[in-house]
Amino acid sequence: MPFIPHTDDDIRAMLATIGVERIDRLFDEIPQALRCPEALGEIPPALSESGIGRLMRERARADGEPLCFIGAGAYDHHIPAAVWELVSRGEFYSAYTPYQAEASQGTLQVLYEFQSMMSALTALDASNASLYDGASALAEAVLMALRANRRCTSQRVLVPRALHPLWRRTLATIVEPQGVELIEAGFDIASGQSSVAHYAEAAGEDEIAAVIIAQPNVFGVLEPVDALTDWARARGALVIGAVNPLALALLSPPGDWGAQGADIACGEAQPFGMPLASGGPYAGFLCCRQSHVRQLPGRIVGRTLDADGRVGFTLTLQAREQHIRRSKATSNICTNQGLMVTAATIHLALLGAEGLERVAAQCHANTAHLVERLAAIPGVEPLFSGAVFHERALRLPLPSAEVLESLAAHELLGGFALDAHYPELGPALLVCATEARTEEEMAHYADLLGRILGARLASH
Amino acid sequence: MPFIPHTDDDIRAMLATIGVERIDRLFDEIPQALRCPEALGEIPPALSESGIGRLMRERARADGEPLCFIGAGAYDHHIPAAVWELVSRGEFYSAYTPYQAEASQGTLQVLYEFQSMMSALTALDASNASLYDGASALAEAVLMALRANRRCTSQRVLVPRALHPLWRRTLATIVEPQGVELIEAGFDIASGQSSVAHYAEAAGEDEIAAVIIAQPNVFGVLEPVDALTDWARARGALVIGAVNPLALALLSPPGDWGAQGADIACGEAQPFGMPLASGGPYAGFLCCRQSHVRQLPGRIVGRTLDADGRVGFTLTLQAREQHIRRSKATSNICTNQGLMVTAATIHLALLGAEGLERVAAQCHANTAHLVERLAAIPGVEPLFSGAVFHERALRLPLPSAEVLESLAAHELLGGFALDAHYPELGPALLVCATEARTEEEMAHYADLLGRILGARLASH
Amino acid sequence: MLIHDQSRAGRRATTQAPLNPPAPEGIPASLRRRQRAALPEVSEMQVVRHYTRLSQKNFSIDTHFYPLGSCTMKYNPRACNSLAMLPGFLARHPLAPDSHGQGVLACLHDLQDILKAVTGMHAVSLAPAAGAQGEFAGVAMIRAYHRARGDVARTEILVPDAAHGTNPASAVMCGFVAREIPTGPDGDVDLEALRAAVGPQTAGIMLTNPSTLGVFDRNIEAIARTVHEAGGLLYYDGANLNAILGKVRPGDMGFDVIHMNLHKTFSTPHGGGGPGAGPVGVSARLEPYLPVPLVARDETGYRWLTEADRPDSIGRLSAFGGNIGILLRAYVYARLLGREGMGRVAEFATLNANYLLARLTEAGFEAAYPKRRASHEFILSLRREARDWGVTAMDVAKRLLDHGYHAPTTYFPLLVPECLLIEPTETESKEMLDGFVEAMTAIRREAEEDPERLRGAPWTQPVRRLDEVRAARHLDLAWSAQPQGANHGES
Amino acid sequence: MLIHDQSRAGRRATTQAPLNPPAPEGIPASLRRRQRAALPEVSEMQVVRHYTRLSQKNFSIDTHFYPLGSCTMKYNPRACNSLAMLPGFLARHPLAPDSHGQGVLACLHDLQDILKAVTGMHAVSLAPAAGAQGEFAGVAMIRAYHRARGDVARTEILVPDAAHGTNPASAVMCGFVAREIPTGPDGDVDLEALRAAVGPQTAGIMLTNPSTLGVFDRNIEAIARTVHEAGGLLYYDGANLNAILGKVRPGDMGFDVIHMNLHKTFSTPHGGGGPGAGPVGVSARLEPYLPVPLVARDETGYRWLTEADRPDSIGRLSAFGGNIGILLRAYVYARLLGREGMGRVAEFATLNANYLLARLTEAGFEAAYPKRRASHEFILSLRREARDWGVTAMDVAKRLLDHGYHAPTTYFPLLVPECLLIEPTETESKEMLDGFVEAMTAIRREAEEDPERLRGAPWTQPVRRLDEVRAARHLDLAWSAQPQGANHGES
Ligand SMILES: Cc1ncc(COP(=O)(O)O)c(C=O)c1O
Ligand SMILES: Cc1ncc(COP(=O)(O)O)c(C=O)c1O
């Protein structure tokens, strides 16, 4: 019996103690009519570990090892070997939520360190211990902002159209049932940037509760965060920065935006030690100023003292959470992404601010280099003039889906098809070359794309 | 500076404490004439972890993933996932030899458990904590037997020709400098078995100090261990069993051979949780009766008590070892294969005797099945009539090197070319299908071999 | 000591970043960061040592018995981890085309089928990242269903008072009012109260069965009838599915929607708080509303279905497909158990729970529902010990740590005073349970003879009992570069 | 508790073996095992818990400062482990053709080249599985060289008394007599004694430089000349190569043969005792005798050279190619260090050693060779503490464990009384060294004030001081099914 340690003697002795003859009798409170008629025939019979290993290896191989130039919210960065060797330790991997603080100081201290690191990166006072992913963290940020902006009676939130389309969809799913109104602010088709004018136009005259600023936006373009922040604050709105945390190694952090800084920062921590893994598990982060901390959803760890005056760590402000406050909680979140945050913490400890800077700078340089090479191909050119971090949109002479398919047939993933989400742009491709891409790989991409476009255009 | 934590401030402070101005001054006792003229220019510049990762992944891929039917001393068995997740824990992986017993109870207890398991499997009283590999363990077994057989003045040792040829070479390298005389005993060309007659013929009238019995022998054939043991003991020789430890799940253990049992058992522990890994690291094991324990080379762990009467573990009988006895030690061995033995111990704990039996039985069945399929190909037939464990020799219609090369071109490793080592056998191939081979894989082998031989023979 | 406290200016784990990146000149100075973030500057070995040693300060299922009721701390097979971490799976970009994901999609599709089979539901979406997100999705589907029928007056979700806190919180996140239904004296839902509560405003009920009281609600058919007749739908909180796996199926009990905590029943790791996975299953009438993405199969292979294929979907719950890595672990686990193994989970989880209940009752502890079978878990109330000796459930919990056992869940469900919710799971041996009974017995004796010892517990952990009030009053949520003196961030 | 003590008849980790193997009918009954081996019968979770918790009872470099002289306990980069464990490397059968091993062979060939470069030797074989096997191979080559020249009267190998025990033991394994050479008062080899000892019977000398006394022998050129002039060869025990990496090369010092402990200088893990790797390097005249296999490169790629290619080889030291997995780890480490990093190893190992020596001397400890530079390690003698306060080097060593530091090497080399051989390595930080000095200072104070506390140490480990005499007298080397009572296997 896989994973069940009972011997026949054990079973006999245990049944005798309980006072029943057969295990099946223990289910006698379940109405007979409801009982499963037979074994679950649709489920295949058990495999040995060796058998499932063979199957999984085959399937992992089936996914191939294409060369990846897609970014768009998930990035192929180097992950130090130490990260997952440590994260996989049973004591981290198989521990529960640290409800018994004294027996969970390892996990709790890691979370406190994570909070500290995210606070430092965003230049905000407090961080929670993770949410599901970046997109759902943004939704929680919006709900939080609505609660925190007590002076404001509206439920209107400005969302830049240049925010990742999948994030906008997630946001809508999660916040609209509570009546939140999401208002789209456009972007400049030449620069790819949002501007105060776009935000102002979208806002109109009505009261605005919160404003989202994406830095960088989905086109990789850097937004005028200071101006946007100042404008939003002047309008009485709370400012939510949706940021790539790696970019913060180089870019002004939300806490420093404009004259007073943003109120809330959120984003996807995947660039910090999390493998691409088809999209998850990743981890959403959420940081805020001290004044909003009681509206922060999710678990929070605090430093305190024990009965002997020694420093220790514990979950705190639990009265915000569902297990205490139930229907009045700041969120329904319970299980979060603890293990991924452990990875992020170790990743950040290994790299430090200077290491992150080097990674970010190399990403920036690689993408610039890639774009230069690709733009040398006839018919390919940068779509926007705005400065970027490590992604850039390109105009193509053919629909991007078609181009991507041809590239994929050569085991190269060429980028994210923007035209599917922004038809107004025409054939547009978002490319990304992280620090993990080499000169040869970029040259290979340019070479392949040149040949494919040449052949396609000739045959058109 | 990779792996060096010193800051500039640290360096300054440390040099001041020492009282020198530059680090280089610390090397001033080295004659100037000998100092390296410049940096080691032949060595490539440093890579980042990401850079070396890329290189190693490329190279690992270059080795391919051929389908493996080679055995011949290294076997492709399933390794439970738990084994290396545990073995890789830093506390096992990065610990030193347990010289400070109190701070090494983890390692010491693992070694004691390993000794216990190997004793149980071989049915002998004692085991050491590993030697380098099976072949060198056999050499140590021979040297040990010569020391232990005090009544005997000869240095003559009988070695079956049916013992693995690479083991025989290793044995010769290690024992011949000390004047040991290795005498080859033949085998029956029909059954593939050694017999008392072969041993007796090789021995002649002279005194024999020790006798090696391989179970199974290199042809996979099972030897008449009882008769050989009884004969050797009657001749005053010590009996050394060179055994595949997995086979002992099914086969009579050395301690039970003949009327009195063998004196020493040795072999390769690779089948217990060690990946093929191009040949190492593996682990040699060496077990013996209690009476020979003071001649046993290598580390040995004993159970004892601490100052409070609690049970604990420590290295023992260290007076046998080089760090105490120096030139009079039982061997020069110091560093052994501790981590591999940790893997073996966990592997054995997971499988238990019944699990090993199931693995061994499936290997036996798979090889029988494979041989049946291959022997259905015209020109292919079993070479020997003797019963086998999980390897069998086949006669081929073409030189095996040629056949193997054709198979390898189809990403299939067909077996071990016996004819290279036993020209007397004609074209002969040793095949092995462990429990990890599937029905489809065996069918594929038969199909491929049939096609290759068909084509080759047609063109000859 | 925090990793920050080991920081020294200029120290680096050099090999971890590109060695000589060019300066990022394309980025305007006005957008550049002015001051480096105060992250630790440490060596690689310091990091390895620090987190290795921190890990050793945790209890975990790999080191300790962890009878945490409702949380299902059972053995997490290591194969689930190593096979989900195969390089081919880890390297796949979420936006890679389906052509380059047939392996992972095959696993997810198989998993959808397995979950349908064990729950008796019509269709499954794997998108929710955890139980609570599954609840959100489930209630959102109930909302979408009623809306699609123009039935917009249904503003209430009924929730028994024994329910997990996520249930009412999820209902509220979906824009409903959560209305509490009391529990009867024997642990089943109070049917009369339920009948009185249902009405045209009832959108549905969220039910856990077996409930978090550790009993199977015997009136489940009546409950289902009552709610359905009032036009409401039934939501099954499947956190406790392990109790009934292969024995009875929520679909057969009449539930319209269910979420499953794969990090419980399907033994994926808890990771110190997550990640989990909370797939949702639905009856046929709710299928159009399932959250995307879903995995479909046709002649050409497997593919993701998105909003474009599913116009009525409640939408997307995260940017990509949810916690895929966790789903892969659950899939491996399900295949290792196989058809035969599913039912055994329920059988031995239930055997262990009833055995432990019998022995602890024998040892003098009071069962909250002594006349009931335990499901996979059960509740003790320590109100007598509290009254007679002045020790609390918390004291007993902390003292258990000293005995090398993780504490059961305390003070949940809220309706039983001084309660311990105990779930041994099927993977623990009889010897382990016996050891736990011995520890509980010793602690009970100590409660009488030396209650101070309990009130001061734990004594053997890295820290003594922590001051939670102080933690909340003097918030210290992040290290800061300014030394804060002995009082660590009094605010 | 042993894993055996958790065994219960019939318990299984079922998934780990084939589920339904056919009976092995082809095997004659007479050869079959009659009674199952008494291996433990346990569940998978029991195994995971048992070995996880056992691991926690170890000191290790990942958890503790481990200044074990001559053993070089420095940080083992985790990338070396994960990259050596790539599936393509692990799955390769040792007898697979070279065509299916170009990846691993390329790494090994590169490593041969790197080791040639750092040692200044002419050729390298990676075959030896550890230092001692490298010594065996080296001395066997010396033997083969003399024999090939018909010079068979050379029966002695000279070994300084400070040498590691493996040196004389290896000489004897090769059929030589090991003759000891004394050390002079300043730690260098006694040149007069050496001159007196060499002669026509001298096959060679085995030398460690810097020696295990932690000093670089300043007379190395004279030693080389003396031995060479007598017709002997020079063997370099490269266990301490880290001390001189990139600073001076054994080949340039005149050595004919060298072994290297990759598990020291090249930071492969010690694994609780092994595996290691002990490649040998030789001058041109010894090249023909190198142990096989070796990796060669030609137009068609990389290939293994075996006895067939190398008829004069001393032969094969193990069945296959040695500890390949360890060689791969060393290779990764070497590439991470690169050209620039090699010299830094020696520099910072030496800086740390001299700093620690300076501070400990300041703290009142006696250096064995106070007038010498420390190399990467150094020796303290506690003879004054032993004389004045009756505490031994062993007591200090055990007490250090209580302070959270692994003990230095004790009682080696044998010629310094009550010695501690201390090697901090380059990967430890100044703070860590300062912490160690503090602990040593506290212990020294305690030695004076409360020597009993030292003699009873350790106090905080899983066990108190173990009775080694009892272990040797009442041998208990294996668990046995027969219960042995409280005295555990008195014999
Ligand atoms: C009964 C019950 N329902 C719901 C949940 C919420 O699940 P999750 O923590 O995965 O969000 C839990 C888990 O804690 C639970 O025990
Ligand atoms: C100086 C010296 N020589 C030789 C050896 C032997 O090396 P190994 O343990 O790898 O056999 C050692 C290692 O302990 C050593 O320190």
Q: Which of C66, C70, C135, C377 to mutate to test the pocket of ligand 1 (most atoms within 8 A of CB)?
A: C70
Answer yes or no: is pLDDT of D490 > 70. no
Q: What is the phi/psi pair of residue B199, to 5°?
A: -65, -45
Hey, how many other C-beta atoms are within 10 angstroms of the C-beta on A382? Answer: 16
> Which residue's alpha carbon is at the smallest distance from atom 12 of ligand 2?
D239
Neighbours of D, requiring at least 3 CB pairs below 8 Å, are A, B, C
Q: Which of D133, D166, D208 to mutate to test the pocket of ligand 2 (most atoms within 8 A of CB)?
A: D166
Residue D332 alpha carbon to ligand 2 centre in Å: 22
Neighbours of A, requiring at least 3 CB pairs below 8 Å, are B, C, D
Q: Note whether D382 and D400 are same-domain residues.
A: yes
> Chain D residues with CB inside 8 Å of B135's CB?
316, 318-319
Answer yes or no: is pLDDT of C491 > 50. no
Residue among D8, D15, D75 whose CB faces C44 most closely: D75
Does D65 fall in a domain?
A: no
Angle of the B338-375 helix axis to the B105-122 helix axis, nearest 10: 40
Residue B14 alpha carbon to ligand 1 centre in Å: 55
Pair of tokens at residue B245? 């430890």
What radius of gyration, in Å, describes the C-alpha atoms of chain A? 26
Residue D211 alpha carbon to ligand 2 centre in Å: 12
Residue A326 is predicted with a pLDDT of 86
Answer yes or no: is pLDDT of C487 > 90. no
> Which residue's alpha carbon is at the smallest distance from atom 9 of ligand 2?
B335
pLDDT band at A232 (very low <50, low <70, confident <90, very high): very high
User: How far is it between the farthest Cα atoms of chain C?
Assistant: 75
CA dist B239 and C290 (Å) reads: 72
- For residue C132, give the amino acid letter: A
What are the tens digits of pLDDT across the range C371-388? 999 999 999 999 999 999
Q: CB–CB of D230/D199 below 8 Å? A: yes
Best B56, B61, B406, B438 residue to mutate vs chain D (most D CBs within 10 Å): B56
Chain B: give the shortest CA distance to residue D376, in Å: 10
Per the prediction, chain B carries an average pLDDT of: 96
Hey, which bits of D48-201 come out as E strands? 123-125, 156-160, 177-181
Q: CB–CB of A122/A243 below 8 Å? A: yes
D contact set with C (CB within 8 A) = 6, 8, 11, 15, 43-46, 48-49, 52-53, 56, 61-64, 75, 77-79, 87, 336, 427-429, 431
Q: Note whether D123 and D188 are same-domain residues.
A: yes
Pairing of strands D419-422, D378-381: antiparallel
Answer yes or no: is pLDDT of C225 > 70. yes
CATH of the domain at C112: 3.40.640.10
Q: Is the pTM of this model over 0.90?
A: yes
Q: How far is CA A326 from CA A329, A394, A454, D43, D264, in A?
A: 5, 48, 61, 39, 58
Q: How far is CA D125 from CA A62, B56, D268, D293, D315, in A?
A: 39, 21, 18, 7, 11
pLDDT band at A163 (very low <50, low <70, confident <90, very high): very high
* Binary contact (C463, A312; C-beta < 8 A): yes
- For residue D33, give the amino acid letter: R
CATH number attached to the domain at A67-77+353-459: 3.90.1150.10
CATH number attached to the domain at B81-346: 3.40.640.10
What are the tens digits of pLDDT across the range A337-364? 999 999 999 999 999 999 999 999 999 9
Cα angle for residues A113, A118, A124 (degrees, 5° grid): 120
What are the tens digits of pLDDT across the range D452-463? 999 999 999 999
Answer yes or no: is pLDDT of C29 > 70. yes
> Chain C residues with CB inside 8 Å of A95's CB?
58-61, 270-272
Residue among A29, A56, A313 whose CB faces C83 most closely: A56
Q: Which residues contact A197 (CB under 8 A, 6 or more apart)?
A: none
* Average pLDDT over every residue of D247-263: 95
Per the prediction, chain D carries an average pLDDT of: 96
* Binary contact (B435, A89; C-beta < 8 A): no
Nearest to C359 by CA among C448, C455, C424: C424
CA dist B302 and B108 (Å) reads: 9
> Which residue's alpha carbon is at the smallest distance from atom 8 of ligand 2?
D131
What are the tens digits of pLDDT across the range B371-420? 999 999 999 999 999 999 999 999 999 999 999 999 999 999 999 999 99
Q: Any idea which of A351-355, B164-168, D22-26, D145-149 has the lowest mean pLDDT?
A: D22-26
Residue among D221, D373, D476 whose CB faces B29 most closely: D373
* Binary contact (B50, A435; C-beta < 8 A): yes
A contact set with B (CB within 8 A) = 48-50, 53-54, 78, 80-81, 85, 88-90, 435-436, 438
Residue C482 is predicted with a pLDDT of 63
CATH of the domain at D462: 3.90.1150.10
Answer yes or no: is pLDDT of A319 > 90. no
Domain boundary among D307, D337, D367: D337
Q: Is the Cβ of B80 closer than 8 Å to some Cβ of chain C?
A: yes
Q: Which atom of ligand 2 is nearest to the CA of D71?
A: 16
> Which residue's alpha carbon is at the smallest distance from atom 7 of ligand 2?
D131
Residues with CB under 6 A from ligand 2: B 334-335; D 70, 130-132, 164, 166, 208, 212, 237, 239, 261, 276, 278
Answer yes or no: is pLDDT of D491 > 70. no
Answer yes or no: is pLDDT of A410 > 50. yes
Residue B320 is predicted with a pLDDT of 86
* Binary contact (A50, B78; C-beta < 8 A): yes
CA dist D363 and D437 (Å) reads: 8
Q: Note whether D260 and D145 are same-domain residues.
A: yes
Q: Which atom of ligand 2 is nearest to the CA of B333?
A: 11
> Which residues pair with residue B79 across a beta bridge?
none
CA dist C45 and D75 (Å) reads: 6
What are the tens digits of pLDDT across the range B266-299? 999 999 999 999 999 999 999 999 999 999 999 9
Nearest to B215 by CA among B371, B423, B368, B387: B387
Nearest to C325 by CA among C369, C275, C370, C375: C275
Residue A39 is predicted with a pLDDT of 62
Domain ranges of chain A: 67-77+353-459, 81-346
Which ligand places an atom closest to the C-alpha of C167? 1
Name the residue range of residue D103's domain: 79-337
Q: Note whether C360 and C329 are same-domain residues.
A: no
Residue D485 is predicted with a pLDDT of 40
* Binary contact (A81, D77; C-beta < 8 A): yes
Cα angle for residues C319, C325, C328 (degrees, 5° grid): 125
Domain boundary among C268, C303, C337: C337
CA dist C91 and A434 (Å) reads: 14
Pair of tokens at residue D443? 């212990």
pLDDT band at D488 (very low <50, low <70, confident <90, very high): very low
Q: Which atom of ligand 1 is nearest to the CA of C212?
A: 1
> Chain D residues with CB inside 8 Å of B128's CB?
none
* Binary contact (B4, C43; C-beta < 8 A): yes
Does C1 fall in a domain?
A: no
* Average pLDDT over every residue of B233-247: 98
CA dist A181 and A176 (Å) reads: 7
Q: Note whether D122 and D158 are same-domain residues.
A: yes
Q: For B79, which residue in chain C has the nearest alpha carbon? A: C79
Does C200 fall in a domain?
A: yes
Hey, how many other C-beta atoms are within 10 angstroms of the C-beta on C151? Answer: 12
* Binary contact (D8, C56; C-beta < 8 A): no
Does C44 fall in a domain?
A: no
Pair of tokens at residue B6? 């010193």
D128 cis-preceded (ω within 30 degrees of 0): no
Q: CB–CB of D108/D126 below 8 Å? A: yes
Domain boundary among D298, D313, D337: D337
Pair of tokens at residue A206? 């009505």
> Which residue's alpha carbon is at the smallest distance from atom 9 of ligand 1?
A335
Q: CB–CB of B127/D478 below 8 Å? A: yes
Nearest to C241 by CA among C350, C137, C162, C127: C350
Which ligand places an atom closest to the C-alpha of D72? 2
Residue B460 is predicted with a pLDDT of 66
Residue D159 is predicted with a pLDDT of 97
Residue B322 is predicted with a pLDDT of 87
Task: List all residues of chain B from 32 to 61 with a beta carbon under 8 Å from chain C.
Answer: 46-50
Cα angle for residues C19, C25, C31 (degrees, 5° grid): 110
CA dist B139 and D471 (Å) reads: 28
CA dist B400 and B72 (Å) reads: 15
Q: Any idea which of B35-49, B160-174, B274-288 has the lowest mean pLDDT?
A: B35-49
Exposure of B455 by Cβ count < 10 A (0-12 exposed, 13-18 middle, 19+ buried)?
exposed
> Which residue's alpha carbon is at the smallest distance from atom 12 of ligand 1?
C239
Which ligand places an atom closest to the C-alpha of B323? 2
Question: How many B/D residue pairs have CB atoms within 8 Å?
Answer: 721
> Which residues pair with residue B453 across a beta bridge?
none
CA dist D271 and B183 (Å) reads: 38
Q: Note whether D316 and D368 are same-domain residues.
A: no
Q: Which atom of ligand 1 is nearest to the CA of C72?
A: 16
> Which residues pair with residue D32 across a beta bridge?
B251
Residue C490 is predicted with a pLDDT of 35
Q: Note whether D363 and D438 are same-domain residues.
A: yes
> Chain A residues with CB inside 8 Å of C376's CB?
none
* Average pLDDT over every residue of D466-480: 95
> Chain B residues with CB inside 8 Å of C48's CB?
90
Q: Note whether C307 and C401 are same-domain residues.
A: no
DSSP 8-state class, residue C176: P
> Which residues pair with residue C65 across a beta bridge?
C405
* Binary contact (B78, A48; C-beta < 8 A): yes
Which ligand places an atom closest to the C-alpha of D276? 2
Domain count, chain C: 2
Hey, how many other C-beta atoms are within 10 angstroms of the C-beta on B354? Answer: 17
* Binary contact (A306, C489; C-beta < 8 A): no
Answer yes or no: is pLDDT of D482 > 90. no
DSSP 8-state class, residue D370: T
Residue among C8, C14, C81 whose CB faces B2 most closely: C14
Distance between alpha carbon A190 and the CA centroid of its chain, in Å?
A: 28
Residue C486 is predicted with a pLDDT of 37
Nearest to D424 by CA among D412, D439, D434: D434
Residue C488 is predicted with a pLDDT of 40
Q: Note whether C308 and C389 are same-domain residues.
A: no
What are the tens digits of pLDDT across the range D41-85? 999 999 999 999 999 999 999 999 999 999 999 999 999 999 999
Domains B67-77+353-459 and B81-346 share a fold: no
> Chain B residues with CB inside 8 Å of A80's CB?
49
D293 cis-preceded (ω within 30 degrees of 0): yes
Residue A329 is predicted with a pLDDT of 87
CA dist C158 and D376 (Å) reads: 73
Specify the residue for token string 């922590």: C466
Q: CB–CB of B280/D129 below 8 Å? A: yes
Does D51 fall in a domain?
A: no
Does D72 fall in a domain?
A: no
Does D474 fall in a domain?
A: no
Q: Note whether C139 and C225 are same-domain residues.
A: yes
* Average pLDDT over every residue of D304-330: 97
pLDDT band at D489 (very low <50, low <70, confident <90, very high): very low
CA dist A150 and A224 (Å) reads: 27
Q: Note whether D428 and D315 are same-domain residues.
A: no
Specify the residue for token string 């993990």: A436
Residue C318 is predicted with a pLDDT of 98
Residue C127 is predicted with a pLDDT of 98
Q: Is the Cβ of B325 closer than 8 Å to some Cβ of chain D?
A: yes
Q: Note whether D289 and D356 are same-domain residues.
A: no
Chain C: give the shortest CA distance to residue D64, in Å: 7
Pair of tokens at residue C387? 């009254």
Chain D: give the shortest CA distance to residue A8, in Å: 8
